[in-house]
């Protein structure tokens, strides 16, 4: 039986901390489940394009 090395709450906290660090550096963070990328690629790409368009309209940072 294989288990995660970290309990789920610690894993979520670590991911959140990483997102905050990236955002403080001017990046916008988008997260997608691997399953969604594999099975719903069109929707994932649409979400990325919408985020880019929103960022350009808002005059946001240069990173996504």
Q: How many domains does the chain contain in total? A: 1
pLDDT value for 16? 86
pTM: 0.66
Q: Cα-flanking dihedrals φ and ψ of residue 40, to 5°? A: -135, 45
Asked if pLDDT for residue 7 goes beyond 80, the answer is no
In a domain, 6, yes or no: no
The single-letter DSSP state of residue 53 is H
Residue-wise pLDDT for 14-59, tens only, equals 888 898 999 899 898 999 999 999 999 999 999 999 999 998 888 7
Identify the band that residue 10 occupies on the pLDDT scale cut at 50, 70 and 90. confident
In a domain, 38, yes or no: yes
In a domain, 7, yes or no: no
- Sign (positive or negative) of CA dihedral 9, 33, 50, 61: positive
In a domain, 57, yes or no: yes
Residue 46 lies in domain: 31-64
């Amino acid at each position: 039986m294989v288990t995660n090395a970290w309990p789920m709450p610690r894993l979520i906290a670590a991911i959140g901390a990483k997102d905050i660090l990236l955002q403080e550096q001017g990046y916008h963070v988008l997260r997608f489940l691997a399953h969604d990328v594999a099975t719903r690629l069109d929707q994932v790409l649409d979400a990325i394009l919408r985020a880019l368009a929103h960022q350009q309209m808002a005059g946001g940072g240069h990173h996504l």
